[in-house]
Each structure stands twice: as structure tokens, then as C-alpha cells.
Amino acid sequence: MSLLEDTCGAIAAVDRTVAIAAQRLLDNKTKPRGSLGRLEELACRVAAIRGTPAPALPVKAIVVMGADHGVAEEGVSAYPQEVTRQMLLNFARGGAAINVLARQAGARLTVVDVGVREPLPPLPEIRTRRIGPGTRNFVLGPAMSRDQARAALECGIEIAQELIVEGLTLLGIGDMGIANTTAASALTAAFTGASVEAVTGRGTGIDDAGLQHKIDVIGRALTINRPDAGDALDVVAKLGGFEIAGLAGVVLGCAAGRTPVMLDGFITGAAALVAARLHPDVAGYLLASHQSVEAGHGVILRALGQQPLLDLGLRLGEGTGAALAMPLVDAALHILHDMATFAAAGVSDSGA
């Protein structure tokens, strides 16, 4: 079997009995039961993923994948395509928002070129795993071949496996790719059946005319490519991006390795949707960091059964939302480990 098939075969549903055991631990802490709300829920979800009621504090990394999209030639973004490459170089220099927020969160940053149009110079800060010089314009036919889609997925799986072997226990994912909200909207419409209008937003800040043009482009792509919603590999090959497929592979690799994945916004949500269509049990390994202002993000979160931890009006990508939410995992697990029980503190329990 292929790496993709082997990985999907290794994915099992999270253990809900462990979540119940974690909740019992929380109920014995010196507080009214359930009073820490979604922080308790987060602790229990991480416990179920890790397979232990009191998992160790996470060792964190954020994987940012960058690639170019042929559909950029349709003028669907407010920024020129060369910005993808320029921003990966900015990541390497440590000057982007994700660099700042990853440092603050105590997370290692792993940047991967899976298909920027013009190759980058060799840099220790960027992993080169190029599938090709960007995807093709999906208005003219499939964005990539089925073999390329599989290669991108397996690239992501390999990176997840490498990081897990190195001891990372919480992975966030982020993206960089001019025009990738167009691809993400197309994927969302294809997988969920939602209208193109309902899942398409302004991306990097296009005006009303630009938004309508973007909607028209996506509609044409769906008509021309006729993706099969029951075949996730077909959908991502026809409508996706190398970085979206790669991030879907990271999600699959994490699920197979019982490692939680902190999603960022719309693009990483689309990647998670690809992964969940390849294996439905993937959804149990996801943590949704925030609610993006992109129109399709809410549609994706509902399809994945996820409730975001934060709502800050973000629409940057890069993994910034994931970095912001990672300290909430730290906080939730610190409560499990460090907060006194009623018995230890000599505090009377309500007996509830």
C-alpha cells in the first residue's frame, strides 16, 4: 500500500472514555463543576486525543506550507503572485506575524515550500518539498494531476511523522499562497454543496467588483472540472493547491500519530476538510483556533463539527490564529496538573 493508504489505515477514533476520565479529574478540582467552561472541554479533548486523562504539557510546532496557484492569473487577489515567494523569505528572516506569534507561543516554526512558482534559494529555515512550480489555472482544467495531489498529501504526512518522532505533541498548521482563498472556496463548495456565493469572501481585500469576479471564476471552475464530492483525491486534484493538499497530509499524519492539530483559519480548514473526507475519524483530532471573517470558514467548521476557541476578526492566515490559541492548550493542561483537589486543599465539595 501507499503511504497515504497506510496512514489512513492507522487512524482510529479518539477515545471518549479518556475524556470522561479527564473530566472526573477536573470535577475534583477546587471549583464548581464545569465552571472553567470550554477550557475544561479543551483539556478533555486533548486527553482523548493523546490517550491519557492527564497528558503532559505540549511540545509545540507550527507547520506553514507555501505554494502558488495558477488561478491567480485570473486576477482574483489584491496582491501579485510574487508575494508568495517574498513572504516565505520573510518567514525565513523571522519578520512575519507568524514568527512573532509562534515565538510568543513557544512553538517551533517549520516552513515548507511545496510549490512556489519561482524556486527559493537554499535556506536552512525553509524545507524544500516542491511538487511543482505552482498549480495550473483550474478554470482551464484540473489544478494538478491525481499523482501530484497524492504526492502533496504524502509530503505532509511525512513532515507530521518527522515532527512527532522528534517529540512534538501539538502541531498547528498555516498557509501562504496568493489566490488560495479562491481554491479553498472552490473546495468548500464542492465538498459541502454550499453555493459559491455563500463560501467566497474578499481574501486579501478585493472590492465588490473583484468579489463578484472571484465568484464567477469559482463557478466556472466547478462547471469545467465537475469534481466528484465522493472522491476527496479527485476534488483536491481538480480544485486545490499544493499547500492545501500538503496541510491535509499533516492533519492525516497527526491523526495517525494521536497528535492534536490546531487549525488556523479558512485555508487550513479547507485542508482539514480534505483530510476528513479521506478519513472521517480525523475530525476528532482537530482543534479550531478561531473563526475567520472569510465567508466559507463557518461552513467548514460546521461541516467538521468544530467550535472555534477565539473570534478576533482575523483573516491573515500563516498559522497566526493557531499560534494565538496554543497557550489555551497550555492553560487547560496546567489546570489538570497544577490545580488542587478538594481533598488536598481541605475545601468542602458540594457533593454534586
For 142-194, what is each residue's pLDDT tens digit?
Answer: 999 999 999 999 999 999 999 999 999 999 999 999 999 999 999 999 999 99
CA distance 213 to 112: 31
pLDDT higher than threshold 90 for residue 282: yes
What pTM was estimated for this model as a whole? Answer: 0.97
pLDDT higher than threshold 70 for residue 307: yes
Positions marked catalytic? 318
Q: How confident is the model at residue 1 (pLDDT cuts 50, 70, 90)?
A: confident
Walk across the sheet containing 107-115 and list its strands. Answer: 126-128, 107-115, 60-67, 170-176, 261-263, 286-288
Cα dihedral sign, 199-300-260-5: negative
**pLDDT confidence of residue 94:** 98
Beta-bridge mates of residue 29: 341
Percentage of the chain lying above the pLDDT 90 cut: 98
Q: For residue 48, give every residue at least 6 positions away whose Cβ sits within 8 Å of its Cβ, in sequence order, or none.
A: 14, 15, 16, 18, 19, 22, 284
Extract the C-alpha cell encoding 125.
Answer: 529555515
Q: How confident is the model at residue 352 (pLDDT cuts 50, 70, 90)?
A: low
Q: For residue 149, give every residue at least 6 positions away whose Cβ sits within 8 Å of its Cβ, in sequence order, or none.
A: 233, 236, 237, 240, 245
**pLDDT confidence of residue 148:** 98
Domains of the chain: 3-55+335-345 (1.10.1610.10), 60-330 (3.40.50.10210)
Phi and psi, residue 255, nearest 5°:
-60, -40
Q: How confident is the model at residue 350 (pLDDT cuts 50, 70, 90)?
A: confident
Q: Is 286 helix (H, G, I), strand (E, B) or coil?
A: strand
**pLDDT by residue (tens digit) across 204-258?**
889 999 999 999 999 999 999 999 999 999 999 999 999 999 999 999 999 999 9
Looking at 160-274, which runs of residues are DSSP E strands?
170-176, 261-263
